Chains A and B, each alone.
Chain A
């Protein structure tokens, strides 16, 4: 099988992916897929997309040698792919720019989104403001509380933020609610999913829009280093920043890849958000993938200091990459991620988001096991401004 051709026509990555939704959404999903297949090869659409990525998002993002972290941690050289420098401060905008252009071409006047950390909500509200689209963002009520700066940013941008109080009041419930909105308003509404989850074609199109990161990185490493990196490290919530970086590297066997899940209090405690490390295959949010569920098949609550990783499922392509062994999926704890957060901040003058702090924490373990002439690239998927309240609270510091 030529891996790059996945998913297959029915949206499958091996046994994973597919389209598991109520009948009402099946035809709209087919239309979306058809529109995307046509537009993605349309030179005018691609030119519009490239122009937005350059002039609005600020791409390419730098590949930055983190020399002081490298010295501190020892072993392989650490480079950071600076997605935190994108407009709105995370990789999420790569995807929202693409999906919003699709929405515009499909003549939709309203976009909806789910969000955990608020980064995807902000990115969606941003692009909606720019394109003059109405925007509604669903956010778990608990996340509304712990990511209040982003809630305010979305409101400033003109979006309506709807707190979701059902279920566990986090990202998975926001996704359910967005799907319910979409099924009700499917005529005028485009659902901008924020990660590589959901029914086909979403895992494919969100991946394609984020793959600009991996493609850029191939060019940058060849220019700067004369070769490809030895290892890539990215955090995995739903998995969009990771798949965006990994996908173009899949054929290059010389580059090892590590997806880092949120270990919360530690995978052995059961209080975590690491379905690939500790879950099993199941069906959630329209696709088959690894999920965290109990023996009766009920989805269970997740625990992570990082709202953006607090998700009991994961993109189906990651499930497949795990099974075929192309990517190693690992986890780090809240405490390890926090330590890495502080080290990066103090050593490089870069405040990372809590999500990529998980990737940094794993790079810290990996680097000393590798030689000094080897290269690790960490996807610094977002900046940490949104997290300073969470961190202060956890460390017992009052900011008011």
Chain B
């Protein structure tokens, strides 16, 4: 069982929802990333999604675009991201880390070389935003051969046929994008999310995390009633943007922000179980 699978299985056994924060590696500066990752765990993170900055983040809204630009000012590379995870692992061997990014930096370095380094660095999973399942057959075996989970996005527009094709290649968990849009969008319609999750669950027993549109404790708790995990990204990255000039305050702020969501998620979880 991978570290992601066992983490999610344990949460499920406890009837709890996974809290999955996203930050962009190297934002506001590469020196801060590992410290922020530990702060996220202190705030209650179950899995960390670490964004690999890319020059052309076409699926991201303005908040994460700017985070990428800040990280790239310091030339944060895919190799740096792996090094950060290795550093994180010195103090945390428990929390799974997923690298989330775009294909070109990986292809440029070579998939095989990347997977080998990621594995050696203690990375647990890879989510490549622009790798559609049709293009994945060459990738999935290489990723899996290195003990990494390959995490896929699902969307409101995904048909039954696509869901079926995706769950065959996916492992670890599925990431359901709660709305048509880019990261950082606000709209959230829990009833339609719930309906779509029902459709997806007819195809798979993989845990499903929901992201896009989760901004605070209330929206996290709401989505937590229907999902196995909630992903929160832009809300954290906005904090980083706001306090980029005084990064020393960031670990405390992110920890507190996440702890609020953790509390809200854990509170209604029992109620949702009963209901």
Contact = CB atoms under 8 A, between A and B. Distances in A.
Interface of A: 10, 18-28, 166-167, 172-173, 175-176, 179-180, 183-187, 281-286, 291, 293, 295-300
A283 B158 contact: no
B185 interface: yes
A285 B56 contact: yes
Give the interface size bracket for B toward A: 35 or more
B158 A180 contact: no
Contacts of B166: 23
Interface string B20-61: 000000000000000000000000000000000011111111
Given A20-B135, A23-B154, A186-B180, A297 B108 contact: yes
26 contacts: A20-B132, A20-B135, A21-B132, A23-B152, A23-B157, A23-B166, A24-B156, A24-B177, A26-B158, A166-B65, A172-B56, A179-B58, A183-B180, A184-B180, A184-B181, A186-B180, A281-B107, A283-B104, A293-B104, A296-B77, A296-B78, A297-B54, A297-B104, A298-B55, A299-B56, A299-B104
A189 to B, nearest CB: 10
A285 B55 CA distance: 12
Given A28-B157, A183-B180, A297-B108, A22 B130 contact: yes
B105 A296 contact: yes
Given A282-B104, A283-B104, A26 B157 contact: yes
A316 to B, nearest CB: 13
Interface of B: 54-62, 65-66, 69, 72, 75, 77-79, 102-109, 129-132, 134-135, 152-159, 162, 166, 177, 180-182, 185
A383 to B, nearest CB: 31
A281 to B, nearest CB: 8
Contacts, number: 128
Contacts of A172: 56
B157 A186 contact: yes
B131 to A, nearest CB: 7
A64 to B, nearest CB: 39
Given A179-B58, A296-B108, A297-B106, A22 B185 contact: no
